[in-house]
Amino acid sequence: MAAINTTPNAIDRKLHRVVLETDPDQFKSFIALARQIATSKPQEFSYQRLGEVQYAGAGAIVTYVSFAHDIGLLDNDLKLTRPKREIRALENFQPWLGDLTLQYLEANNASLKQIEQAIQDLSQGSPCRLSTQENIIVKLDNPPSLRNFRFSLKILALLRSNAIGLASRRVVLMDGIVEG
């Protein structure tokens, strides 16, 4: 199966870079691994600012290392939970990432069914509320952190687009009818 075509700095590519760089013999903390990745200035952690390519620092990268641990890509010792040779290719990594993300959401009271119910509840209230990530997470019982929820939704929108989608649209709101 071919890799899903995502942008070079999409979240799946960032997490792939994290797992490829991890070495529990060399890095003993999330920040040590993040610093090493930041030093190498990989394309996955690049962005454009004022027409110039910039690179994320260790402080930004450590959030991805932490998330990789939280969903089970890495264990407490920063060791991969699957042999590196099996996920070196992006087309092998993406399905594993998608599966672990779904398992993480289910284990943290944010399964697709629970998200669907939250969206329905928000739309049927009076006034109805938009199904923003912030509004959905408030409807869930003991959900993951907002950061992890956002990262998880980004992954699923990329890798499991038949299950969930994220959209930014200009929305018209009126007091008493729809709230943000």
pLDDT in tens, 117-135: 999 999 998 888 889 999 9
Examine residue 8 and say whether the peptide bond preceding it is cis (omega within 30 degrees of 0): no
CA distances from 41 to 47, 57, 159 (A): 11, 9, 25
Amino acid at 142: N
Let me know if residue 23 belongs to a domain. Answer: yes
pLDDT over 70 at 171, yes or no: no
Domain assignment present for residue 1? The answer is no
Question: pLDDT for 95-107, tens place per residue?
Answer: 999 999 999 999 9
| pLDDT tens digits for range 68-89 | 999 999 999 999 999 999 999 9
Q: What is the extent of the structural domain holding 93? A: 11-179
Q: In degrees rounded to 5, what are phi and psi of residue 87?
A: -125, 15
Would you say residue 104 lies in a domain? yes
Q: Are 36 and 65 in contact (CB under 8 A)?
A: no
Structural domain contains residue 5: no
On whether residue 167 sits in a domain, the answer given is yes
pTM, to two decimals: 0.91
